[in-house]
Amino acid sequence: GGSTEAADIDTKSFLTHDLLHFALETEAQLSGGFFGLMASGRSFAQLNNKAPAEPAGDEARHVEQAVGVLTGMTKGTASSAEAIAMLKNLYDAYGEPMPTWLTADMLDGANERYRRLLGKWNSLTFGETLELRFGA
């Protein structure tokens, strides 16, 4: 709707996690994760459970779980096949099927997308802005 919202974040604790979210959600073409919910009109306060909102839903939970294993991939502690095996164990433990979008190829693509985003971030000089467009 053309509205905007801004927030100052501590890059040491949030940047990696947020860029992983963006990379995964755009690679998997999802609309129910953090950035998709924000694009649909949720505020930062609602997404951080600091203001009333409808529950985020299963896709947001699946995204969080996938971002967790993607973190290990970016650190080189897990391959995409190992990450999928970890997630399969988790979903099996809860008796749930894995989402169809959650594949080794998608995780590899998200990992590469994250690597490129981080490269762009690292190439900025002080005061420059990295603008991310979701769904564009």
Q: How much is the average pLDDT of 14-26? A: 90
Which pair of tokens denotes residue 68? 């967790």
> What's the pLDDT tens digit per position in 31-90?
988 888 888 888 777 777 655 555 557 888 899 999 999 999 999 999 999 999 999 999
Closest CA to 34 of 57, 16, 5, 13: 57
Average pLDDT value for the chain: 86
Q: Identify the pLDDT of residue 136.
A: 59
The end-to-end CA distance of the chain, in Å, is: 14
Q: Identify the pLDDT of residue 15.
A: 82
Return d(Cα 48, Cα 120) in angstroms, integer. Answer: 26
pTM: 0.85
Dihedral sign for Cα 67, 70, 74, 76, please. positive
